[in-house]
Amino acid sequence: MLTLFTINTCKSFGCRNLGLPISASADYNWPDFRLGFPALHCRACGSYPPLFDEQQFNEWLSVYLRTYASENGHFCPECFCQKTICYGHNPRGTQRVQCRMCRKVWTPKQQKPGKIVLPERIETVALIVPFQGNSTEQKLYVLLSFDAVRGNVLHVSTNFTQHDMGETLRYRWRGIAEPDLLHSDIVQRVDMREAQFLHRSQFDEIQYGSAVLKRNAKGAMLRPVIAAHGHFRVLNILFPEVRIHIISHESFLRGAVITVWADLFRQREGELWFIEEEINDSNIYLPWEFQRTTQHGWWQGQWQLWAQGKNRKMVCPLTGGDRGNAKTLSLTASRYFIHWLYQQPKFTHSTQLSAGRVTQILLSLAQDYNDELITAPSGY
């Protein structure tokens, strides 16, 4: 029987239906086309989250999670339980693992000693990377998540998938990419980004550029919103109790995080923050100073502007929480890694490589980076 992962749900913080599937609430009405696309109308809060083909999503996500579990051994590829024990060795001497819940035994492809350390905060950003598809101008949508305090990479995923998927999950390029927001004023940049969300055909339907694979190439390109839900589902299985999430300013990242950790947010035990940064001098160690609060977007989000010498950041609490955290939140972990990434020759030659190969290189480099952090004398 197919494991059900909820994606069609209310995503409004404070609503009693947050994270509840369609079958669990009488407040839902669907499909609703009031916004010009099929949506789920939550009468309790008035929201209209876009509808997805839940069967196609579940089929793809189940295979994606099973593959990740089989390769890494961090949770069971059958029931996705994280409680496992070592279970002897196979004839080649490789460690086997058994699930404590369903008793499945398997041999992870990657032998990673040591226990996963629970992060205090998870920081997630997106990165657009070129690859060789039907031309050199193709683009890969990459999600990078970090332990925001220790700085190590927790998970890397892209919108390239090697698994079969339904047509509704496929990324479709319409020929016009959303413009890069390079405005010199960080406040204006946040405002322009919010306006960009409203100009989309639906809030999660990003057009980030062409992503066409070579003819007859294996695999496919996912809609970035689907890749995000898969990305955060892995992190939720690994770290179900993490209460603070920091994400770059993108609406469907918010929707994916709040859906996956819905139980915590419904109980008002979680914090979710948008961050936008303008770092002109990474060697400044002055304390951040609060400047003012501004409101942006259709939902009039409350953004705090902070300054640190030549640096500025904008911070927006999306789910309440401790407003005192705003001073210490940042995208430092991702900034350090991306700077390191662009110094690696294997990565800088991505325009000559397939989407699948670039994905594998990113995973390998993330492990190299983590290994360097472990051996570094102090910090990252």
- Over residues 327-364, the pLDDT tens digits come to 999 999 999 999 999 999 999 999 999 999 999 999 99
Query: Is the CB of residue 99 less than 8 Å from the CB of residue 78?
Result: yes
User: Confidence band (pLDDT; 50, 70, 90) for 136?
Assistant: confident
Residue 105 inside a domain? The answer is no
Residue 240 inside a domain? The answer is yes
Q: Which residue has 């589902």 as its token pair?
A: 233
- pLDDT tens for 148-183 read 999 999 999 999 999 999 999 999 999 999 988 877
Strand partners, 99: 84
Residue 72 inside a domain? The answer is no
- The residue with greater pLDDT, 111 or 266, is 266
Residue 368 inside a domain? The answer is yes
Q: Measured on CA atoms in the order 45, 46, 49, 52, is the torsion positive or negative?
A: positive
**pTM for this model (two decimals):** 0.95
> Is residue 379 pLDDT above 60, yes or no?
no
Q: Residue 11 — φ and ψ, nearest 5°?
A: -115, 20
Closest to 13 (Cα-Cα) out of 38, 49, 37 = 49
Q: Which of 16-30, 87-101, 243-257 has the lowest mean pLDDT?
A: 87-101
In the chain, the number of structural domains is 1
pLDDT, average across residues 295-306: 91
Q: Which residue has 């995923």 as its token pair?
A: 157
- pLDDT tens for 34-51 read 999 999 999 999 999 999
Percentage of the chain with pLDDT > 90?
82
The distance between the two most distant Cα atoms of the chain, rounded to a whole number of Å, is 64
Q: Which of 106-115, 136-145, 221-230, 285-294 has the lowest mean pLDDT?
A: 106-115
Residue 13 inside a domain? The answer is no
pLDDT, average across residues 101-118: 80
Token representation of residue 331? 């995208």
Query: Is the CB of residue 124 less than 8 Å from the CB of residue 145?
Result: yes
pLDDT value at position 254? Answer: 97
User: Which domain covers residue 169, as residue numbers?
Assistant: 121-375
Query: Is the CB of residue 38 less than 8 Å from the CB of residue 344?
Result: no
Percentage of the chain with pLDDT > 70?
97
pLDDT value at position 324? Answer: 87
Residue 195 inside a domain? The answer is yes
pLDDT value at position 1? Answer: 38
Residue 77 inside a domain? The answer is no
For residue 303, the SS3 value is strand
**What's the rounded Cα separation, in Å, for the pair 140 and 154?**
19
Average pLDDT, rounded, for the chain: 93
Q: Which residues contact 283 (CB under 8 A, 6 or more apart)?
A: none
Residue 244 inside a domain? The answer is yes
pLDDT value at position 380? Answer: 44
pLDDT value at position 111? Answer: 60
> Is residue 116 pLDDT above 80, yes or no?
no
Which amino acid appears at position 81 of this protein? C
HEC sequence for 29-42: EEEECCCCCCEEEE
pLDDT value at position 377? Answer: 59
pLDDT value at position 371? Answer: 93
pLDDT value at position 161? Answer: 98
Closest to 71 (Cα-Cα) out of 32, 106, 114 = 106
Q: Which residue has 């911070």 as its token pair?
A: 315
> Is residue 113 pLDDT above 80, yes or no?
no
